[in-house]
Amino acid sequence: MYLLEVRSLTKHFGGIRALEDVSFKVKEGAIMSIIGPNGAGKTTLFNCITGITKPTKGKIVFSNIDIASMQPHKIARYGIYRTFQNIRLFRDMTVLENVLVSLHNQLKSRIFGSIFRTARFISEENEAAQRAMEYLEFVGLQSAAESKAESLSYGEQRRLEIARAMAGEPHLVLLDEPTAGMNPQETAEVIELIKRLQSIGKTVLFIEHDMNVVMEISEWIVVLDHGVMIAEGTPYETRNNPLVIEAYLGKEI
């Protein structure tokens, strides 16, 4: 079964064709990657899927619903969460508070409850703290819960971002360059984390420049070049596709 279907997706910025007639499907429970040289349209694709950018044309069907014209908060409620290329944390807040902020967007008895400290509000707060700790444990940051986010190493901050995305209880997790700027040890930890996301039933779609990471964990790869999808396939097929080699991998090889 397919969780996400991108159909003839097109996005033009004035005369720039960031995406041109891009179509692919994401299987439920899969780990899939989007690759391509700089300016290929990868981030624009993520922005379209999460509602930050409205497509010029095309459909984005998630769990049988076309989300292409929906607002970002509504798409998030349907179960799509993402991380960004540039880390976006509340640096002054603790690690736990960073996850709680994401969780609070879902809680029900906010304003009234927080003024009058209703029983429901207090029990929701306790439950939220417990859940936040579970997400931190999942990404291996439980012992840093009370530390300031800014005190974390770069790799830890990226894992905290994943914990924050998980707080939205997504079905589909979009990771924008999850290993960018990481050392080999940090990269290995993220690879494990992505596999763990899959093991608990999440579907993962990620943008990545590190071909070792892409080839190691992707079940399926979509290749963009100048906004056009030039190939899709398994790591083996992608690695051996002359169009891909010419457009992108050629430099690596």
Instruction: Tokens for 80, please give them.
Output: 């799509």
Residue 85: C-alpha distances to residues 177, 230, 242 (Å): 6, 23, 28
- Candidates 36, 55, 113, 155: give the one binding ligand ATP (CB under 6 A): 36
Shortest distance, position 31 Cβ to ligand ATP, whole Å: 19
Q: How many residues bind ligand ATP (CB under 6 A)?
A: 11
From the CB of 42, what's the least distance to ligand ATP, in Å? 4
Quote the CA–CA distance of 119 and 140 in Å, as a whole number.
Answer: 32
16 binds ligand ATP per the rule CB under 6 A: yes
- In whole angstroms, the minimum distance from the beta carbon of 217 to ligand ATP comes to 19
Residue from 4, 26, 33, 43 binding ligand ATP (CB under 6 A): 43
213 binds ligand ATP (CB under 6 A): no
Q: Which of 1, 15, 38, 201 binds ligand ATP (CB under 6 A)?
A: 38
- Among 178, 156, 175, residue whose Cα is nearest residue 165: 175
Stretch that binds ligand ATP, among 33-41, 162-170, 190-198, 214-222 (CB under 6 A): 33-41
The sheet with strand 16-27 has its strands ordered as 16-27, 2-13, 57-62, 65-66
Would you state the structure tokens that stand for residue 18, as one six-digit string? 């960031």
**18 counts as binding ligand ATP under rule CB under 6 A:** yes
| 39 is a site residue for ligand ATP (CB under 6 A) | yes
Interaction between residue 65 and ligand ATP (CB under 6 A): no
Cβ contact 46:82 at 8 Å: yes
- Among 164, 121, 107, 118, CA closest to 141: 164
- DSSP helix/strand/coil, 50: coil
The answer to whether the CB of 165 falls within 8 A of the CB of 157 is: no
Length of the chain measured in residues: 253
Shortest distance (Å) from residue 75 CB to ligand ATP:
18
Strand partners, 117: none
40 interacts with ligand ATP by CB under 6 A:
yes
User: Which C-beta is closer to ligand ATP: that of 52 or that of 101?
Assistant: 52
Q: Does 83 bind ligand ATP (CB under 6 A)?
A: no
Name which of 44 and 187 has its Cβ closer to ligand ATP: 44
Bridge pairing between strands 2-13 and 80-82: unpaired
Q: Which is nearer to ligand ATP, 129 or 228 (CB)?
A: 228
Three-state DSSP class for residue 229: strand
Q: Does 44 engage in binding with ligand ATP (CB under 6 A)?
A: yes
- 181 binds ligand ATP, rule: CB under 6 A: no
| Contact set with ligand ATP (CB under 6 A) | 13, 16, 18, 36, 38-44
